């Protein structure tokens, strides 16, 4: 087979929010495509109309846009293999399902849901396959005339693949090596449903072939479906064009026992979706990483490290660095435990390393959403530089920066009042006079004056530094207190000392 251009796809169902495992699948597809100069395709697998959720497709596109993983081809972008929604490709699939029937690799099944329910009650662990198909209503047990009559009359039916009962089939997985399956253990999966829509099994093979997909990355939970797909590639005569497969390891719960689910996130207090998701059908709100305060670069960085590393011990990667360093060989076969504390560490590092200019829009959104007015961009940039090392999430900028724009509404009185004395009142009254006569209002000069006055008054530095901080910010947090005063400026600093003194001495 000649070397094909690298073409990969992410093919989600629009049935709900986008799990971080889904975003990692997108990321690995994207990295592989960009590393090899290929194309990344977004295809919407909406064949199960009963599970379709309004707004889910747009949500998926918005998540990828936030992450910066922009498809080269998609329902909105278009492309030479359009349409990219399976529901709009419905007419394509029956042709291939009928071809499989004519070749003897598939068959019509006319069993009603009631008949199948009865059979499941009658037979423990019932599977529609080689063991039971001969006792059911299908084109393998009915005469040709009966089948033709049923089809002519429009009798509801599905088309099922006819799985061989005693074959071993294998394929080479780029992560796991050779994987083998016994076909007799797999049931006759439905390929075309009664409504004419294909199931995932038929659609994914037909679309991957027609869209010339060269490599297919998907979660390891899809491994049990591999024998059906292998046979479809073979039966349809496309075996030489089959993509190379990589089944990605699961993202596990923090304790390592089982796949991470949104219930685990709700139970343990962290998001598992990329962005906030609201399901109108269930009236359920599920939180996302974006709204919690994660930077998209940090989110991608932490996902990349769940099951992959470059072998050097490096942990912080930009998207461009990930593209350069990414290789399939470095993906682990074992599942990766999700650690939310580690996830927050990545975000803190990204915030710390980001230029203030890159953060200003997001920080301004955080502050203005809480009613903070920002008048000068240059001032905001200075504040971001001063406080960003203290922020783990973007939302932390409210606590760490809001006091630069508005006087504290409340003070941590309990940390001050029990030890308050008239000497301290006198100290701060004199400090106001001292500061008002400063030639410069720079941190080093303010600190020198402050320390000299404390010594003159016989006060320990710690006895007055904490009250000074609380006067300016309201609590026991923030950067170097003289940096805060210098940024606030003389008039605002003196005003805040006055206001807080009134509270402390009340």
Buried b or exposed e, range 46-76, using 16+ CB within 10 angstroms: bbbeeeebeebbebbbebbebbebebbbbbe
The sheet that has 244-248: what strands, in order across it? 177-182, 168-173, 244-248, 215-219
Give the separation between CA 332 and CA 407, rounded to whole angstroms: 52
Cis peptide before 55 (omega within 30 of 0): no
Please give, one letter per residue, the 3-state secondary structure of 106-139.
EEEECCCHHHHHHHHHHCCCCCCCCCCHHHCCEC
Residue 246 φ then ψ, to 5°: -140, 120
Residue 19 φ then ψ, to 5°: -65, 150
Q: Which of 34, 162, 193, 262 is catalytic?
A: 262
* CA neighbor of 67 nearest in space, from 269, 297, 265: 297
Dihedral, CA atoms, 70, 74, 77, 82, nearest 10 degrees?
A: 150
- Element at 368 (helix H, strand E): helix 356-369
First to last CA, the chain: 86
Give the separation between CA 340 and CA 345, rounded to whole angstroms: 9
The sheet that has 158-161: what strands, in order across it? 106-109, 158-161, 190-192
Supply the Cα-derived Rg of the chain in whole angstroms: 32
Residue 301 φ then ψ, to 5°: -60, -50
- Element at 252 (helix H, strand E): strand 251-252
Instruction: Transcribe 261-285 into DSSP letters.
Output: -HHHHHHHT---BSS-EEETTTTEE
Q: Which residues does 346 contact at the CB level (< 8 Å), separation at least 6?
A: 298, 301, 302, 305, 315, 316
Whether 499 is catalytic:
no
DSSP state of 5: P
Give bridge partners of residue 40 from the DSSP assignment: 8
Give bridge partners of residue 245 from the DSSP assignment: 173, 216
Q: How many helices (H) and strands (E) does the chain have?
A: 20, 13
Catalytic residues: 262
């Amino acid at each position: 087979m000649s070397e094909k251009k690298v073409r990969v796809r992410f093919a989600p169902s629009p049935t709900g929010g986008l799990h971080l495992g889904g975003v990692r699948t997108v990321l690995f597809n994207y990295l592989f495509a960009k590393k090899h100069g290929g194309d990344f395709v977004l295809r919407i697998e909406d064949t199960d109309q009963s599970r379709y959720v309004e707004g889910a497709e747009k949500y998926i596109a918005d998540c990828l846009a936030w992450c910066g993983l922009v498809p080269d081809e998609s329902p909105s972008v278009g492309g030479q293999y359009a349409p990219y929604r399976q529901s709009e490709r419905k007419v394509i699939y029956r042709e291939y399902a009928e071809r499989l029937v004519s070749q003897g690799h598939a068959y019509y099944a006319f069993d009603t849901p009631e008949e199948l329910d009865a059979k499941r009650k009658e037979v423990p662990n019932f599977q529609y396959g080689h063991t039971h198909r001969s006792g059911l209503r299908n084109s393998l047990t009915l005469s040709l005339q009966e089948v033709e009559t049923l089809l002519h009359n429009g009798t509801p039916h599905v088309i099922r693949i006819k799985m061989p009962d005693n074959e071993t089939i294998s394929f080479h997985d780029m992560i796991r090596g050779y994987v083998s399956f016994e076909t007799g253990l797999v049931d006759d999966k439905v390929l075309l449903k009664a409504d004419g829509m294909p199931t995932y099994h038929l659609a994914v093979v037909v679309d991957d072939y027609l869209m010339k997909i060269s490599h297919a990355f998907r979660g390891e939970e899809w491994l049990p479906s591999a024998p059906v797909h292998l046979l479809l590639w073979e039966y349809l005569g496309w075996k030489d064009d089959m993509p190379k497969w990589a089944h990605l390891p699961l993202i596990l719960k923090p304790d390592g026992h089982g796949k991470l689910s949104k219930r685990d996130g709700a139970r343990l207090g962290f998001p598992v979706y990329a962005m906030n998701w609201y399901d109108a059908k269930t009236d359920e709100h599920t939180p996302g990483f974006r709204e919690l305060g994660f930077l998209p670069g940090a989110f991608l960085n932490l996902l990349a490290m769940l099951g992959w590393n470059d072998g050097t011990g490096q942990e912080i990667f930009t998207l461009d660095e990930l593209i350069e360093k990414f290789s399939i060989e470095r993906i682990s076969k074992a599942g990766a435990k999700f650690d939310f504390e580690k996830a927050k560490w990545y975000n803190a590092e990204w915030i710390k390393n980001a230029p203030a200019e890159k953060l200003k829009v997001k920080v301004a959104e955080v502050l203005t959403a809480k009613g903070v007015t920002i008048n000068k961009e240059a001032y905001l940039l200075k504040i971001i530089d001063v406080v960003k090392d203290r922020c783990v999430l973007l939302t932390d900028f409210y606590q760490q920066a809001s006091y630069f724009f508005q006087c504290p509404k409340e003070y941590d009185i309990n940390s001050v009042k029990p030890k308050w004395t008239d000497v301290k009142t006198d100290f701060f009254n004199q400090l106001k006079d001292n500061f008002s006569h400063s030639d410069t209002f720079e941190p080093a000069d303010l600190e020198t004056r402050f320390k000299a006055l404390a010594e003159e008054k016989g006060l320990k530095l710690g006895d007055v530094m904490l009250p000074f901080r609380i006067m300016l910010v309201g609590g026991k947090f923030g950067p170097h207190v003289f940096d805060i005063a210098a940024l606030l400026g003389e008039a605002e600093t003196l005003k805040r000392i006055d206001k807080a003194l009134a509270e402390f001495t009340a």
